[in-house]
Structure formats: structure tokens, C-alpha cells
């Protein structure tokens, strides 16, 4: 039906690709990815991912430097059933520093999530 997929692991990437989903319709959205999974994403053509910390930018530079990136930002989700911003997402006071690091590493930040 033309929908896209948010995958958090190599296993999820494999699963959606096994049903015929092409890599260009997948975002690797785990904010803390193992290097082996980043390498795998690069190998199979999953070329968009997220970051919310400086260490992740260095891993991406090493393993998947041409990946398009979305900076995952923390939001006020205190009234949500699952408050993910407690654990995930860059806080407002981190945004400029993270974007500067990404720029210094010549990474391709294309948006926010």
C-alpha cells in the first residue's frame, strides 16, 4: 500500500524487507545503534537514520557516513502512555552542539524527528 517503515533493529529491517519493502522506504530509527547494525543498514541500502547524541554521530560517521540523518528531539510527552522523551531525544540545550558536531563530521542532517 506504499507505506514506509520505522525499524529499530537489523531483525526488523530484515523482516520488512522479506515482505518486499525496499530499503528506500525504511528509516533506521533506533537512537543507539550497534556498529554492526549500522554497517548492515549501509550494505542493504537503508540510508536514513536518527541521532540524539554525539557518540551516535561518531558511530554513524565511521559506519554509514552518507546516511541522511534526522535529529531526534525530546518533547513534552509527559501525558503520553509511553513517555519516550524520558530516555530518548536531544534536549533543546543540546541541539546547536549536536548540529555543529554533525557539520564538522560532514554528515547530512536533513531534518528533525
Going residue by residue through the chain (113 aa), what tens digit of pLDDT does each one get? 788 999 999 999 999 999 999 999 999 999 889 999 999 999 999 999 999 999 999 999 999 999 999 999 877 655 555 545 555 678 889 999 999 999 999 999 999 97
- Map residue 9 onto helix, strand or coil: coil
Burial of 53 (0-12, 13-18, 19+ CB in 10 A): middle
Burial of 56 (0-12, 13-18, 19+ CB in 10 A): buried
Structural domain of 61: 5-112
pTM over 0.85: yes
CATH of the domain at 101: 3.20.20.10
The structural domain count of the chain equals: 1
Give which of 107, 97, 104, 25 is closest to 64, Cα–Cα. 107
Query: What pLDDT, on the 0 to 100 scale, is given for residue 1?
Result: 75
Radius of gyration of the chain from its Cα atoms, rounded to whole angstroms: 14
Amino acid at each position: 500500500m506504499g507505506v514506509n517503515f520505522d525499524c529499530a533493529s537489523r531483525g526488523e529491517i530484515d523482516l520488512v524487507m522479506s515482505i518486499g519493502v525496499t530499503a528506500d522506504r525504511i528509516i533506521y530509527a533506533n537512537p543507539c545503534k550497534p556498529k554492526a547494525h549500522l554497517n548492515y543498514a549501509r550494505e542493504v541500502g537503508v540510508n536514513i537514520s536518527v541521532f540524539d547524541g554525539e557518540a551516535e554521530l561518531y558511530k554513524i560517521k565511521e559506519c554509514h557516513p552518507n546516511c541522511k540523518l534526522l535529529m531526534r528531539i525530546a518533547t513534552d510527552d509527559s501525558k503520553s502512555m509511553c513517555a519516550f522523551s524520558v530516555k530518548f531525544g536531544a534536549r533543546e540545550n543540546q541541539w546547536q552542539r549536536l548540529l555543529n558536531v554533525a557539520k564538522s563530521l560532514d554528515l547530512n542532517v536533513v531534518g528533525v524527528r
